[in-house]
A and B are shown apart, each in its own frame.
Chain A
């Protein structure tokens, strides 16, 4: 067991508000405490010196009871030592009545909990994982090429896999591209050749064209990759993966109302780009040179019946094609028909350039239909700038179709695979299974990465099929650690944007490798060196942990026993929350540790009229929000006892049972918002807690307690002014219920 030194600061009214002599006296008696010291000012020069003294005199962990860690951090950190920060100032002194019995009890309970954490913790030792310093890039289009080049220039190896026979992707058909340099007016000549050459001669890039990924096993730092290159199988090892499989144009055959398929003279922007590249603009039906071309924007885009999203580049691509057309054939006129023109940022100048061209007409309105007439086409405009309805004749119509990500939905593929297997085994309702197979069978064979993960062979798809991140601040957050989606696979974008995205994803890949080399987790628990351990002798193969892990960390053997992959783990603790047998723990976060913290709180007896409420708060938002509330002088009940947890999903129901058994009157769980716009940093934590609410209710029922004794609230960091009100409302509601029958009389 660790020996803890406790350092208590007296500054910022801590000394005036609390009876620190009593606190010190009580703390000295606690199990695991080596020494207790109080100083007038820990944030001055004295603090770091006291820390050094404490470690020199035999303590190996430390409790700093002062202000929140955000105020002074570095001076108290010692490499390899555990420092437990207790925000006495924010959570006790500034938020509660000074020199009050209840405040004193709160302070003493908090110190007891901190001492339990500091003394019971097992000091984790970093266990470096194998770290192959190479990155697999799947997809040899502009995004993948930029990723591979960036990786190589940064000194790492890249394995670039492209399914067609040469690199370049869509860029091979685009001879001219959007401007990337001031004054942003002119089309640029494609730089594909230059980049292709650099890749071909770079000794750190291994290019496989005509190749696909067959299978990927392992984990970050040591992915085992099987490629099929032509007829050959090639095996390689990489540390991380960038998926840049790009986009496919939206299937124009679904746009028959716009004439596609009815007449050859309605073409897509992709088909028109080829005409431009060949320098031959002619009507497919009769080979004549068109005199008037209509460009129909948002062909299937921004349309809930087709693609609900905007593909970002189609407006600018049309402007490019119109300008290029005018250069090739100055007599041909271009009519651009658009809801609005989206040429954001510095591409405004490019838009102007098109507006200045006397042969390019831009009309804002909705195109309702395109019909073929005897000699040409008619575009029917609904409401537009030019009036309520208008017909426009054209020789050729170009549909600006949007982009569909070339992605596979890993979770759906897994559902299909499981349904098939269960159907064969006769396991489960055959009707339900058959419907599932029917619904998902179109996905058959769409696998791209072939991950051997229990949770499916590919990244999970999110809104509209893009395997994007949920987070604005963390656009590369992924649900499969070490695998990063980039380019039009992740979100529709232009060439320059895709290249930047490819490089950004490549940086995350490198970072994942470097974290493995140190045995650390990646964001948001960066630097965490303690992977979960499983006491498998007691595992009942219930599969909750393997199902619920948001990151696909755990595989299973034939008996469904979990097989951990520490490199994939994000240390969220959701498996620990899920496990009914309580066999999962971390060196510094375990069922036992938190149970002991709960049990260290002194619960007054039935007639003391001092209720006790346990509050479990997510460490990312709710807990810092509480600290901020205290910092800003907000007040809340002195009857609540706060413990930070890694995530609401990392709450095991046994903690609630422990609290109620100790006589607690209620439990308040505070975490991030679940749902479509979830703010949970482990994406599913809050949602999973909701699925466990049945368990919680059952537990309450067993103990003959009311459901209302447990409440879940969702808060963000910005809700720090609301949080105290939520707490007090709960305390009030509990008061109405009366004390818990489990208190000592």
Chain B
């Protein structure tokens, strides 16, 4: 496959730092680079992609995130304007708009840049670890690639799980001598004109949802775990199944607002869980034509033309949307049972299902920075740090298309701080 390399560098602007390599950060980096900025993109994990890399499909098109990621990652790797540092976090910011100095710290990868991702290290590695990427539903080795199209396409070694010098099997067997277990963390400074914080989100910790039974039964899972179950390269090779016995569920109950719109947990609405569960109902239906699907909700929040996706799903006679708040999920007779206050009928229901999916909300990722936060932990830029912008779910909960728009907007605002000729 060919792609012409960019020849002329075009106009030069000040450098933009993008913190976070999920969909918002990736979009900000490529859009800024193609508008003429030099960009440094730093990502805390070993591979770019963030949350969307864990997902099977996007609503409402039911298309794979891998498709857009592939194009964006190609834009990154062929761009002479973008420099990427993975395993890197921003530590402190000094200076002001147009001239920031950002101290970053990079954790060791233990694998050199010339790794060809042949996979020998993973195959000889004796350490199996629970895969965070699969939310503990699967295992991988201490030497791993996060997901099939992961970029940078280089392995990484989990320093905590690795047995170190005493094992060194990967070091000896690596055909390209790319592994160096003595790599140390390093800190360095980046001089940039503006910063976009696109540090993203993490799922609300389901283990705090005692009432909803998370942890009490393996067949009570979260919405993000559902993404991994449905993903062809996930722990079950894409089969939606009950983790307890590997069987296809005959009935699935979705608990909307699991911890959301709830003062004891997240007082706000995450804005996208309704559509995510609607999408998950489609995942289940695509594989299990007879499964009974129940979605218990307070309000179904679909925006704009997502409504037609909702309406289309509603036409499935075995998908039932029930206005009702699930107050409790118990385990009775070895099966999860939902306790629901049915708002339509004004009564209490008990409903036993094979698989329970908790639609947990999202919280802003924890990261050190020097911006303000609102009461819920979302980043809220305040003057005079005008050269520091926030994009995507770090700012407030939003879906993928909104996060990309948000990233574009942040880049435009950042351009004002990246000096340029004739500007």
**Residue ranges of A at the interface with B (Cβ–Cβ < 8 Å):** 11-13, 41, 43-45, 67, 69-74, 77-85, 87, 89, 117, 121, 124, 126, 128, 133, 150-151, 153-155, 181-183, 302, 308-312, 340-349, 364, 383, 385, 463-464, 466, 468, 470-476, 491-493, 497, 499-501, 503-508, 510-511, 514-515, 517-518, 520, 522-530, 588, 619-621, 623-624, 628, 631-632, 644, 677, 679, 681, 716-721
CB interface residues, B 406-423, toward A, < 8 Å:
406-409, 411-413, 415-416, 420, 422-423
User: Closest approach, in angstroms, between the C-beta of A489 and any C-beta of chain B?
Assistant: 12
**Chain A residue nearest in CB terms to B120:** A12
Cβ of B117: which chain A residues have Cβ within 8 Å of it? 67, 71, 631
Is A81 a contact of B149 with CB atoms below 8 Å?
Answer: no
Is B5 a contact of A154 with CB atoms below 8 Å?
Answer: no
Is B400 a contact of A472 with CB atoms below 8 Å?
Answer: yes
Can you name 10 extra interface pairs (CB under 8 A) apart from A43-B114, A474-B68, A631-B117? A11-B176, A82-B4, A345-B271, A346-B396, A349-B267, A503-B412, A523-B75, A527-B78, A620-B70, A681-B71
Query: Of the 9-residue stretches B124-132, B218-226, B327-335, B371-379, which lies at the interface with chain A?
Result: B371-379
B261: CB under 8 A from chain A?
yes
**Chain B residue nearest in CB terms to A342:** B301
Given known A73-B77, A510-B35, contact A310–B116 (CB-CB < 8 A): no
User: Closest approach, in angstroms, between the C-beta of B56 and any C-beta of chain A?
Assistant: 8
* A–B pairs, 22, beta carbons within 8 Å: A12-B118, A44-B114, A67-B116, A69-B3, A73-B77, A80-B7, A85-B1, A155-B420, A309-B304, A343-B269, A347-B269, A475-B401, A503-B409, A511-B31, A514-B11, A517-B10, A527-B6, A529-B4, A628-B149, A679-B61, A718-B66, A721-B232
User: Closest approach, in angstroms, between the C-beta of A307 and any C-beta of chain B?
Assistant: 9
B148: CB under 8 A from chain A?
yes
**Chain A residue nearest in CB terms to B28:** A507
**Which of B71, B151, B407 lies at the interface centre, i.e. has the most chain A CB atoms within 10 A of its CB?**
B71
Is B66 a contact of A716 with CB atoms below 8 Å?
Answer: yes
For the complex, give the distance between the alpha carbons of A526 and B31 in Å. 11
For the complex, give the distance between the alpha carbons of A606 and B151 in Å. 44
Cβ of A677: which chain B residues have Cβ within 8 Å of it? 61-63
B135: CB under 8 A from chain A?
no
Is B77 a contact of A124 with CB atoms below 8 Å?
Answer: no
For the complex, give the distance between the alpha carbons of A476 and B343 in Å. 40
Is A346 a contact of B376 with CB atoms below 8 Å?
Answer: yes
Is A504 a contact of B405 with CB atoms below 8 Å?
Answer: yes
Is A71 a contact of B35 with CB atoms below 8 Å?
Answer: no
Is B67 a contact of A620 with CB atoms below 8 Å?
Answer: yes
Is A501 a contact of B116 with CB atoms below 8 Å?
Answer: no
Main DSSP-derived SS at the A contact region: loop
CB interface residues, B 269-303, toward A, < 8 Å:
269-272, 298-303
For the complex, give the distance between the alpha carbons of A632 and B299 in Å. 43
Given known A181-B380, A309-B307, A504-B412, contact A523–B34 (CB-CB < 8 A): yes
Is B408 a contact of A154 with CB atoms below 8 Å?
Answer: no
User: Closest approach, in angstroms, between the C-beta of A63 and any C-beta of chain B?
Assistant: 10
Is A473 a contact of B68 with CB atoms below 8 Å?
Answer: yes
User: Closest approach, in angstroms, between the C-beta of A149 and any C-beta of chain B?
Assistant: 10
Cβ of B153: which chain A residues have Cβ within 8 Å of it? 70-71
Is B405 a contact of A345 with CB atoms below 8 Å?
Answer: no
Is A526 a contact of B34 with CB atoms below 8 Å?
Answer: yes
B2: CB under 8 A from chain A?
yes
User: Closest approach, in angstroms, between the C-beta of B373 and any C-beta of chain A?
Assistant: 9
Cβ of A312: which chain B residues have Cβ within 8 Å of it? 303-304
Is A340 a contact of B300 with CB atoms below 8 Å?
Answer: yes
Contact of B71 among A89, A133, A524 (CB under 8 A): A524
Cβ of A117: which chain B residues have Cβ within 8 Å of it? 2
User: Closest approach, in angstroms, between the C-beta of B138 and any C-beta of chain A?
Assistant: 16
B108: CB under 8 A from chain A?
no
Is B2 a contact of A588 with CB atoms below 8 Å?
Answer: yes
Chain B interface residue count, CB cutoff 8 Å, equals 98
Given known A310-B303, A504-B412, A717-B64, contact A344–B405 (CB-CB < 8 A): no
Contact of A364 among B27, B65, B343, B402 (CB under 8 A): B343
Is B408 a contact of A150 with CB atoms below 8 Å?
Answer: no
Cβ of B232: which chain A residues have Cβ within 8 Å of it? 718-719, 721
**Which of A472, A504, A524 lies at the interface centre, i.e. has the most chain B CB atoms within 10 A of its CB?**
A472
For the complex, give the distance between the alpha carbons of A107 and B170 in Å. 30
**Which of B2, B71, B270 lies at the interface centre, i.e. has the most chain A CB atoms within 10 A of its CB?**
B2
For the complex, give the distance between the alpha carbons of A348 and B411 in Å. 28
User: Closest approach, in angstroms, between the C-beta of B343 and any C-beta of chain A?
Assistant: 6
Is A632 a contact of B148 with CB atoms below 8 Å?
Answer: yes
User: Closest approach, in angstroms, between the C-beta of A632 and any C-beta of chain B?
Assistant: 6
Cβ of A302: which chain B residues have Cβ within 8 Å of it? 307, 311
B322: CB under 8 A from chain A?
no
Is B118 a contact of A308 with CB atoms below 8 Å?
Answer: no
Contact of B114 among A45, A347, A471, A681 (CB under 8 A): A45
Cβ of B65: which chain A residues have Cβ within 8 Å of it? 473
Is B36 a contact of A475 with CB atoms below 8 Å?
Answer: no
Cβ of B301: which chain A residues have Cβ within 8 Å of it? 340, 342, 344
Is B305 a contact of A464 with CB atoms below 8 Å?
Answer: yes
Given known A154-B412, A182-B374, A364-B323, contact A717–B66 (CB-CB < 8 A): yes
Cβ of B72: which chain A residues have Cβ within 8 Å of it? 473
Is B311 a contact of A308 with CB atoms below 8 Å?
Answer: yes
Is B3 a contact of A309 with CB atoms below 8 Å?
Answer: no
B308: CB under 8 A from chain A?
yes
Is A472 a contact of B77 with CB atoms below 8 Å?
Answer: no
**Chain A residue nearest in CB terms to B74:** A70
Cβ of B407: which chain A residues have Cβ within 8 Å of it? 504
For the complex, give the distance between the alpha carbons of A117 and B1 in Å. 10
For the complex, give the distance between the alpha carbons of A524 and B34 in Å. 12
Cβ of A503: which chain B residues have Cβ within 8 Å of it? 408-409, 412-413
User: Closest approach, in angstroms, between the C-beta of A171 and any C-beta of chain B?
Assistant: 18
B8: CB under 8 A from chain A?
yes
Contact of B412 among A69, A71, A506 (CB under 8 A): A506
For the complex, give the distance between the alpha carbons of A248 and B409 in Å. 25
Is A79 a contact of B5 with CB atoms below 8 Å?
Answer: yes
Given known A67-B116, A183-B375, A621-B67, contact A474–B5 (CB-CB < 8 A): no
B95: CB under 8 A from chain A?
no
Cβ of B56: which chain A residues have Cβ within 8 Å of it? 718
Cβ of A468: which chain B residues have Cβ within 8 Å of it? 305
Is B1 a contact of A623 with CB atoms below 8 Å?
Answer: yes
For the complex, give the distance between the alpha carbons of A523 and B75 in Å. 9
Cβ of B176: which chain A residues have Cβ within 8 Å of it? 11, 41, 43-44
Contact of A628 among B78, B148, B269, B400 (CB under 8 A): B148
Is B305 a contact of A385 with CB atoms below 8 Å?
Answer: no
User: Closest approach, in angstroms, between the C-beta of A11 and any C-beta of chain B?
Assistant: 6
User: Closest approach, in angstroms, between the C-beta of B233 and any C-beta of chain A?
Assistant: 8
CB interface residues, B 58-104, toward A, < 8 Å:
58, 61-75, 77-80
Is A718 a contact of B308 with CB atoms below 8 Å?
Answer: no
Cβ of B367: which chain A residues have Cβ within 8 Å of it? none
**Chain B residue nearest in CB terms to A182:** B374
Cβ of A500: which chain B residues have Cβ within 8 Å of it? 405-406, 409
**Which of A341, A348, A503, A530 lies at the interface centre, i.e. has the most chain B CB atoms within 10 A of its CB?**
A348
B175: CB under 8 A from chain A?
yes
Is A345 a contact of B269 with CB atoms below 8 Å?
Answer: yes
For the complex, give the distance between the alpha carbons of A347 and B148 in Å. 37
B384: CB under 8 A from chain A?
no
Contact of B343 among A121, A385, A471 (CB under 8 A): A385
